[in-house]
A and B are shown apart, each in its own frame.
Chain A
């Protein structure tokens, strides 16, 4: 009864497990269509996920394990019970065999020496008692009625013999006695046969029980083993795979490449929650980095402003002079001359506007727009921005751009900011009349473009070199540098999937090498970034 109930539980548990398995398999096969959903935007997909948490998973596994453990326990109990019954039978059979042998001993005593008849009767009575008492045990293993009949007959014969012994003088005593003795031997041997059968049955049933016992143990072990493997596969694999995925994401994050963590299970669980939390964290981090980058940019703009303000003086001076002379000599001048002066005014105003526009375009806060751009153009634009600063410093710029440069995938303004930082740094360490070399070429590393900015200044000593990319680290005088330039630049380049390296020799100069990936941006990453732009997400995704 109890084991039936257990069986039902067990079957129910298995069915549930099967449902879970089916669900997982179905979800995995729809993973591709899920990826397409991804393109439609993360926000759409999120509420549609079915909830199947690891907690629930563990509960299910626990309940199923409990059911299985109880079933195994019940099976063992059952076999124990059967063993006990078998032991009872063995005991009965042994008693029977023992008594039969004793009875036969008494019988032969009587036949040979003519005594012990009473004892013989006594043992037969005992035999009868045992057989009647253990009806249940014997009934299953032997022809019970025949057995009882034999014993009764034997008992009757003994009584007859006793009666005959009471009247030794009766006629035909010897003949009758011989006849009864023969009958006694016959039934005695029948009883012995039954004892043999019992012995045989005893051995058989013991063997059977041992086999059953062994099988139950083996099956329980095998089933447990398979079940544990399944649990390991389903739960362990699920947890470990997610952990591994997160580990690889954190590696990417450490190198500055913030990308959305796309949960690959199509149901929502704890890892899904975690990925949402990390996404949020990345968004916040990215926003903070953008704020930092923007503030650093404004500082750079501040540096440029002095040069630009000075440079603005030239067109304004030209306008002032021309306008005053026009006013002064208006009536004396020929029309031609007046026209020429007005044209000069317009031209100089345009010149002033251009000087300011470049700077404002660079300074304004802009969204990240990843597009194919030529590094050469970016460098030229950057030099235009820094032009006045370069003139004031009296430094010569040597810009070399390799022909047929492949385009790179990036944000124009962010890259301008990086190169401006590097150029302004180089200007700071270059003496008047010195040289700064800028080379734009394909990198030694395949699929990378490289920009090398070389100055011939004092170089960077070793103890400082480790810190130059640290935020707020600066060697410049108070109020001159924020210490954010290189740190922000590194962040921007990492987001572009590139890297900045530096080689320097004290008193010889320093080269900053910026490597950026060209043409072969992996298709899926490329797609992701487009997706991000399509869905108007502010978070830059590589």
Chain B
């Protein structure tokens, strides 16, 4: 029996967390959702996550800083960035800094699930992707 994949989801839009939490949980992951980057950073410091999904543009701390923190904390954690159309440059920077992948808003739950499955596979963990 494989280890449960631990996922942290950070987006300052509450609905994103609210809807994606059950969607990702269906993959058999353990999901924690945060709206405030500071809270998320605190939690990252406490616990090692397998996968971190974060929005790039947020008011207090932006996604690149979150990425930096995660990378500092654990190199093996896969970080998936959520971006907007106008921010391809930021996405490119994120990839250079070691993000696993990025996904552009607006996206379908299945799009994110596919990326998460891919990330889990690259960690050598398995998930049941329903899609």
* A316 & B19 in contact (Cβ 8 Å cutoff): no
Q: Mark B34-60, 1 if CB is under 8 A from A, else 0.
A: 000000000000000000000001010
* B16 & A391 in contact (Cβ 8 Å cutoff): no
* B106 & A316 in contact (Cβ 8 Å cutoff): yes
Q: How far is the CA of A329 from the CA of B19 in the complex (A)?
A: 11
Q: How far is the CA of A324 from the CA of B84 in the complex (A)?
A: 19
- Is B121 located at the chain interface by the 8 A CB criterion? no
Q: Mark B87-119, 1 if CB is under 8 A from A, else 0.
A: 100000000000000000111111000000000
Closest residue of A by beta carbon distance from B130: A328
Q: Mark B1-27, 1 if CB is under 8 A from A, else 0.
A: 000000000000101100110110000
Q: Mark B44-88, 1 if CB is under 8 A from A, else 0.
A: 000000000000010100100000000000000000000011110
CB distance from B129 to the nearest CB of A (A): 14
CB distance from A434 to the nearest CB of B (A): 15
Closest residue of A by beta carbon distance from B58: A391
Knowing A324-B108, A325-B22, A392-B57 touch, does A317 contact B16 (C-beta < 8 A)?
A: yes
CB distance from B33 to the nearest CB of A (A): 13
- Grouping DSSP codes into helix (H, G, I), strand (E, B) and loop, the B interface class, with mixed when no group exceeds half, is helix
CB distance from A258 to the nearest CB of B (A): 40
Closest residue of A by beta carbon distance from B13: A314
CB distance from B53 to the nearest CB of A (A): 13
- Is A295 located at the chain interface by the 8 A CB criterion? no
CB distance from A207 to the nearest CB of B (A): 110
* A321 & B87 in contact (Cβ 8 Å cutoff): no
* A320 & B22 in contact (Cβ 8 Å cutoff): no
Knowing A320-B107, A325-B109, A391-B57 touch, does A310 contact B16 (C-beta < 8 A)?
A: no
Q: How far is the CA of A310 from the CA of B84 in the complex (A)?
A: 6
* A321 & B59 in contact (Cβ 8 Å cutoff): no
Knowing A320-B106, A321-B20, A391-B59 touch, does A313 contact B84 (C-beta < 8 A)?
A: yes
Closest residue of B by beta carbon distance from A311: B84
* B13 & A317 in contact (Cβ 8 Å cutoff): yes
* B15 & A321 in contact (Cβ 8 Å cutoff): yes
* A317 & B105 in contact (Cβ 8 Å cutoff): yes
- Grouping DSSP codes into helix (H, G, I), strand (E, B) and loop, the A interface class, with mixed when no group exceeds half, is helix
Q: B86 is contacted by which of A309, A329, A348, A394 (Cβ under 8 Å)?
A: A309
Q: B15 is contacted by which of A306, A309, A322, A329 (Cβ under 8 Å)?
A: A322
- Chain A neighbourhood of B13, CB < 8 A: 314, 317-318
Q: How far is the CA of A309 from the CA of B108 in the complex (A)?
A: 18
A 269-322 contacts with B by CB, 8 A:
306-307, 309-310, 313-314, 316-322
CB distance from B19 to the nearest CB of A (A): 4
Closest residue of B by beta carbon distance from A320: B106
How many residues belonging to B are interface residues under a CB distance threshold of 8 Å? 20
* A317 & B106 in contact (Cβ 8 Å cutoff): yes
A-B contact number at CB 8 A:
59
- Chain B neighbourhood of A365, CB < 8 A: none
Q: A313 is contacted by which of B59, B85, B108, B109 (Cβ under 8 Å)?
A: B85
- Chain B neighbourhood of A314, CB < 8 A: 13, 105
Q: How far is the CA of A306 from the CA of B57 in the complex (A)?
A: 14
- Chain A neighbourhood of B20, CB < 8 A: 321
Q: A325 is contacted by which of B19, B62, B85, B106 (Cβ under 8 Å)?
A: B19
* B85 & A310 in contact (Cβ 8 Å cutoff): yes
* A318 & B15 in contact (Cβ 8 Å cutoff): yes
- Chain A neighbourhood of B15, CB < 8 A: 318, 321-322, 344, 348
* A321 & B109 in contact (Cβ 8 Å cutoff): yes
* B16 & A324 in contact (Cβ 8 Å cutoff): no
* A325 & B23 in contact (Cβ 8 Å cutoff): yes
- Chain B neighbourhood of A322, CB < 8 A: 15, 19
- Chain A neighbourhood of B87, CB < 8 A: 310
- Chain B neighbourhood of A320, CB < 8 A: 106-108
CB distance from B15 to the nearest CB of A (A): 4
Q: How far is the CA of A316 from the CA of B16 in the complex (A)?
A: 11
CB distance from A398 to the nearest CB of B (A): 16
Q: How far is the CA of A384 from the CA of B53 in the complex (A)?
A: 30
Q: How far is the CA of A319 from the CA of B108 in the complex (A)?
A: 10
Closest residue of B by beta carbon distance from A332: B22
- Chain A neighbourhood of B19, CB < 8 A: 318, 321-322, 325, 341
Q: How far is the CA of A325 from the CA of B26 in the complex (A)?
A: 12
* B109 & A318 in contact (Cβ 8 Å cutoff): no
- Chain A neighbourhood of B107, CB < 8 A: 317, 320-321
CB distance from A86 to the nearest CB of B (A): 111
- Chain A neighbourhood of B106, CB < 8 A: 313, 316-317, 319-321
Q: How far is the CA of A319 from the CA of B59 in the complex (A)?
A: 21
* A321 & B84 in contact (Cβ 8 Å cutoff): no
Q: Mark A336-379, 1 if CB is under 8 A from B, else 0.
A: 00000100100010000000000000000000000000000000
Q: How far is the CA of A15 from the CA of B62 in the complex (A)?
A: 92
* A313 & B23 in contact (Cβ 8 Å cutoff): no
Q: How far is the CA of A85 from the CA of B84 in the complex (A)?
A: 117
Q: How far is the CA of A527 from the CA of B87 in the complex (A)?
A: 52
- Chain B neighbourhood of A307, CB < 8 A: 86
- Chain A neighbourhood of B110, CB < 8 A: 324
- Chain A neighbourhood of B84, CB < 8 A: 310, 313
8 further interface pairs, Cβ-Cβ under 8 Å (given A310-B85, A313-B105, A325-B109)? A313-B84, A317-B16, A318-B15, A320-B107, A321-B108, A325-B23, A329-B22, A344-B15
Q: Could you write out 27 A-B pairs with CB less than 8 Å apart?
A: A306-B86, A307-B86, A310-B57, A310-B85, A310-B87, A314-B13, A317-B105, A317-B106, A317-B107, A318-B13, A318-B16, A318-B19, A319-B106, A320-B108, A321-B16, A321-B19, A321-B20, A321-B108, A322-B19, A324-B108, A324-B110, A325-B109, A328-B23, A341-B19, A348-B15, A391-B59, A394-B62
